[in-house]
Structure 1
Amino acid sequence: MDKRPNLLLIQTDQQSAETLGLYGNPALETPVLESLAERGVVFDFAFCNYPACSPSRSSMFTGRYASSIGVHANHMMINPAETTLPQVLKEHGYQTAIIGKNHAFMENTKTYYPAEVADREKASVLRQVFDYVRLADHGHLVDGYRDDPETMAAHEWSHTCWVSPLGHGTNPARPEKCGTYLLGETMMDYLENERDPEKPFFAWLSFPDPHTPYQAPEPYASMIDPAKVPLPPKDMMEGKPERQQVAYLMDAMDTADDKLIRKVRAIHYGMIRFIDDTLARMFAKMEELGLTDNTVVVFTSDHGDSMGAHGLIQKHNMFYDSFTHVPFIVAAPEYQGPRRTKHPVELIDIMPTFLDMAGIPIPPGVQGKSLAPYLRGEDYTPREFVVIESGEEGEPMRVSDITVRPEHPFDDRYFVWCAYREAWVGKGKSIRTLEWKLNIYASGEGELYDLVNDRDELHNRFEDPAFASIRSELERKLLLWTMEKEDRFPLNTTVKLNYAEVKAKHA
């Protein structure tokens, strides 16, 4: 039997770190995640590399930045010519499984990139890199349960909360017929009946929640008292990029009051607690099967949800911590280090970390940094900063371009603004240390935040002469980072001459 560790990636969708009590939230208890943290380490400063689903997931599974792999927005997926985590693990003897939401891997190579995949048998597409595939949709549909009448009804009802910016509510379905519960059942069935016990496994348990639609069954819908839900500080948007004002109007947040924001947040928190309770059953099954002590577990999310912070909802083409700061818990066998650390982490670090823990060489081109030395108690030099990217090429929409918009948060004539392609036009990059954050946009706009004295990112110091030296230093670091990480693929094989050969010949 192969004794290498099992690898389990548990990922939620659109959950910022601040939703959890582990990161200081007083309103939500998640006892299972807290128990996971007790046998592992909580990374206080973990960040996605792009604040939207597909670019974040695609960069995470390739260990490469979105700009390197050419995934600039949510309608794009991983180029099958890229090397991905499940592909490498499968080639080295791991059984691979996806249970839940995908939004990263293409289904085939015939429709996309037809000329770029040299070996189609090794292409990084969904059903070639994963041995076991059980997919789930936003709402409640999960493979294996899609024909269940109660599950179908739960799914259809959930979409009444999907079609407006702040739609939310209590799903009348039983919890046992809802997607989060069914994903737990699917995962436990995989562990007990479907996996090959002679092989180590890599499983991606990918919950579509607490992403929209904001709805949950009882008891979770009313588990959190809205009156006890913390509200973010008010952002007056003075000196902020115009894209924030556009999003504020297109989200209809100018018509949303604190009471409504608390109610939506309470539902969002209830969805997270539902996930936590589901994980309790899954971890109990792992313990029963004797898998706990030989499984590396990572819990994280693909990006955050502003939940009213900065006058915005969901995700956007911006770099506030509410969009980019994600939970990150790692429990590794025999880990004996600190229970918390301030070492900065990026989601692209997951690929090299898992490969390193499995004793598999990290492929060329991977830009993430393995956390395995830290987890093993070896010498480890943490990142000095993290970098986050966002946006497609083009001029971002201006307030003067708005001709139609939702009249109120429940206006079902318009979908939420962040789902529109236009919301993601306008490239930007962000560099964040523990003390400072600099956001640079291709439009020429910028933001600079003193995170020690302004952790809520309310006061933009980009044009303040008193902070010019800080801005200049961060701009220089970002420039050097950009040059260092410039993609090296494809390799240039056209050059035939080099001076070293000539020198050796005539020495």
Structure 2
Amino acid sequence: MKRPNIVLIMTDQHRAGWTRATGFPLDTMPFLDGLMEGGAQFERGYTTSPLCVPARVSLVTGRYPSAHRVRQNSAAQHVMRGDDLVDVLREAGYALHMAGKTHFHRKPEDFDTFSAPYWHVGGPADRATPEQAKFEQWLGDLDHSVSHEPSPFPLECQFPHRIVSDAIGAMDGTPGDRPFFTWLSFPEPHNPYQVPEPYFSLFSEEEMPERLVGPEGAERKGGMYTWLSRLIEEKRPGYDAEWRRYRANYCGMLRLIDDQLRRFFDHLRESGRDADTLVFFVADHGDYVGDYGLQRKGAGMSESLMRIPFAVAGPGVRPMVNGADFVSLADVFPTICEAIDAEIPAGVQGRSLWPMLTGEPYPAEIFASGYGERGFGGVAYGIDERPPLHFPYEGRTFDELNTVTQSGTTVMLRRERWKLLLDERGTGELYDLDADPAELDNRYGDPALAEVRAALTTDLARWMIRVRDDLPEAVYTLKRAPHNWR
């Protein structure tokens, strides 16, 4: 068979529902909206974990964090896996191109070209021009905060422009008879929140939509939300007053990414390879974007962090807007396997979406619920505890993914309008997202919802059994479900 080229677009800390096609009032990503109009768009796309490395390792391995064992950003080297996406594509004869942010277990030598790593304040040290190096120093000086002025450096210094330029060069170097896999991995719209003109002025603070809830929401939710909110206020007094500027910069960053995607796909079309290219668009996780008076991520598993953009377009994919099925970042790898007619490796827990994407029948119940995980183990800290962190308590610098906010374990179940969370202490949370999108009214103990709670708990138990690891393989022969639909 003639295998398609594959372009995987991944953004970082990109909240779902922030483009006009997905219901946002501002036109942040018109090119991407148009590109995906001819493909499959999933309104219920979810990450496996609301932080970078566990989520990215899930994409590459098709496994949930409890199986691949990478449950914090500092643990990529401890991954437990079988063959992953890189192995399968290499075996299938693909040229492998990585451009952008990595934050997973694979190394430069695993790819044909490796224009990485691009981090949030720096790119590959050996590739920066003097002006780009000054830009990266300016980014570092922002200390992951919000810029109140346009970036004083030209567009060519911005990471999305540099990443797309690198990817175009790699693609042009691939022989026309060899399929390629190009991973465009943008560090944006992750903080620091900054953009040059014209993007800085493209979206004004005044036109930003209202947030679901302000800082009072963090106090009401308690636990890690309260701890993180108080820590940031202590370090950066009055920071929440920036939320409209933060949102405006965030929208500008999305448009900047969109324009660079347009540049990449214009080049792909001019090279005559666009018709044979399968495109996946996902994010690793979301962003509070000011909800709960918080920026970035860190506490809990709110929809603002767990829901991600998720769309697929290209040869064989039927256009649809799917608002019913729950799909996961872990589903990308097995879907690519079936799209290129490769066997789904042992140990993969995600489900292939390929029959769904191509209009074949599929069992709706397999996708009637979604599952996620958070935390690196142990038990949760209390809101008054101050254990040692990897940054000082004094000064402005902080990292929202720290010992306190990530300690413990929480699992999540989504089904219909409901969301159920359980943690290692036995604490339960149950939210009706239709009536309570900010997740402030915990109805876990509501007698009127006893039957709902029981059904969701049973479903959650099924998921926790489903993600028990099939690895390592030994003597007995495992019976495999078609498409990994267990």
CA RMSD between the two structures: 2.4
Partner of 1:277: 259
Q: Secondary structure at the match of 1:444?
A: coil
Moved more, 2-11 or 138-147: 138-147
Tell me if structure 2 keeps the 8 A contact 1:140–1:151: no
Give the number of equivalent residue pairs. 468
Question: Matches of 2:125 and 2:272 in 1, distance apart?
Answer: 26
Question: Matches of 2:126 and 2:227 in 1, distance apart?
Answer: 40
Partner of 2:208: 229
Partner of 1:149: 130
- Does residue 175 in structure 1 map to residue 174 in structure 2? no
1:43-442 equivalences in 2 (<5 Å) = 43-77=42-76, 79=79, 82-105=82-105, 125-139=106-120, 141-143=122-124, 146-163=127-144, 169-192=149-172, 194-234=173-213, 236-237=217-218, 240-252=221-233, 256=238, 259-382=241-364, 383-402=367-386, 413-442=395-424
Tell me if structure 2 keeps the 8 A contact 1:317–1:390: no
Q: Secondary structure at the match of 2:397?
A: coil
Partner of 2:480: none
- Does residue 34 in structure 1 map to residue 28 in structure 2? no
Question: Matches of 1:178 and 1:163 in 2, distance apart?
Answer: 15
One-letter code aligned to 1:61 = V
Partner of 1:113: none
Question: Matches of 2:33 and 2:400 in 1, distance apart?
Answer: 32
Moved more, 386-395 or 334-343: 334-343
Question: Matches of 2:47 and 2:381 in 1, distance apart?
Answer: 24
Tell me if structure 2 keeps the 8 A contact 1:183–1:207: yes
Question: Matches of 2:239 and 2:296 in 1, distance apart?
Answer: 16
Deviation of the 1:59 alpha carbon: 0.8
Q: Given the superposition, is the C-alpha separation of residues 469 and 251 from structure 1 closer, same or farther in structure 2, using an over 3 Å criterion?
A: farther
Percent identity between the two aligned chains:
32
Deviation of the 1:323 alpha carbon: 0.5
Q: Secondary structure at the match of 1:392?
A: strand
Tell me if structure 2 keeps the 8 A contact 1:16–1:326: yes
Q: Given the superposition, is the C-alpha separation of residues 139 and 156 from structure 1 closer, same or farther in structure 2, using an over 3 Å criterion?
A: farther
Question: Matches of 1:141 and 1:342 in 2, distance apart?
Answer: 39
Deviation of the 1:337 alpha carbon: 3.6
Tell me if structure 2 keeps the 8 A contact 1:250–1:417: no
Deviation of the 1:492 alpha carbon: 4.0
Partner of 2:439: 457
Q: Secondary structure at the match of 2:114?
A: strand
Question: Matches of 2:170 and 2:378 in 1, distance apart?
Answer: 45
Moved more, 286-295 or 79-88: 79-88
Q: Given the superposition, is the C-alpha separation of residues 14 and 490 from structure 1 closer, same or farther in structure 2, using an over 3 Å criterion?
A: same
Q: Given the superposition, is the C-alpha separation of residues 339 and 419 from structure 1 closer, same or farther in structure 2, using an over 3 Å criterion?
A: closer
Q: What do residues 73-110 of structure 1 show as CA deviations (whole Å, max 9, x unaligned)?
A: 111115275421011110121111111000002xxxxx
Question: Matches of 2:63 and 2:387 in 1, distance apart?
Answer: 38
One-letter code aligned to 2:340 = A
Partner of 2:481: none
Q: What do residues 38-97 of structure 1 show as CA deviations (whole Å, max 9, x unaligned)?
A: 211211110000000000000111001110011111111152754210111101211111
One-letter code aligned to 2:202 = M
Q: What do residues 249-285 of structure 1 show as CA deviations (whole Å, max 9, x unaligned)?
A: 1232995476510101111111111000001110100
Deviation of the 1:241 alpha carbon: 4.6
Question: Matches of 1:355 and 1:62 in 2, distance apart?
Answer: 12
Q: TM-score, normalised by structure 2?
A: 0.90
Question: Matches of 2:111 and 2:80 in 1, distance apart?
Answer: 13
Q: Secondary structure at the match of 1:352?
A: helix
Tell me if structure 2 keeps the 8 A contact 1:240–1:447: no
Tell me if structure 1 keeps the 8 A contact 2:15–2:308: yes
Q: Given the superposition, is the C-alpha separation of residues 223 and 490 from structure 1 closer, same or farther in structure 2, using an over 3 Å criterion?
A: same
Q: Secondary structure at the match of 1:96?
A: strand
Question: Matches of 1:427 and 1:52 in 2, distance apart?
Answer: 14
Q: Secondary structure at the match of 1:391?
A: strand
Structure 1's unaligned 5+ residue stretches are 106-124, 406-410, 497-507
Structure number with bigger Rg: 1
Question: Matches of 1:346 and 1:337 in 2, distance apart?
Answer: 19
Deviation of the 1:287 alpha carbon: 0.5
Tell me if structure 1 keeps the 8 A contact 2:419–2:431: yes
Moved more, 45-54 or 468-477: 468-477
Tell me if structure 1 keeps the 8 A contact 2:84–2:345: no
Tell me if structure 2 keeps the 8 A contact 1:337–1:377: no
Tell me if structure 2 keeps the 8 A contact 1:247–1:417: no
Q: TM-score, normalised by structure 1?
A: 0.87
Q: Given the superposition, is the C-alpha separation of residues 404 and 26 from structure 1 closer, same or farther in structure 2, using an over 3 Å criterion?
A: farther
Q: What do residues 460-481 of structure 1 show as CA deviations (whole Å, max 9, x unaligned)?
A: 1122222222122111111122
Structure 2's unaligned 5+ residue stretches are 478-486
One-letter code aligned to 2:301 = F
Tell me if structure 2 keeps the 8 A contact 1:220–1:273: yes
Q: What do residues 94-138 of structure 1 show as CA deviations (whole Å, max 9, x unaligned)?
A: 111111000002xxxxxxxxxxxxxxxxxxx32343221110423
Partner of 1:502: none
Question: Matches of 2:435 and 2:93 in 1, distance apart?
Answer: 50
Question: Matches of 1:27 and 1:60 in 2, distance apart?
Answer: 29
Residue of structure 1 aligned with 2:458, choices 471, 476, 483: 476
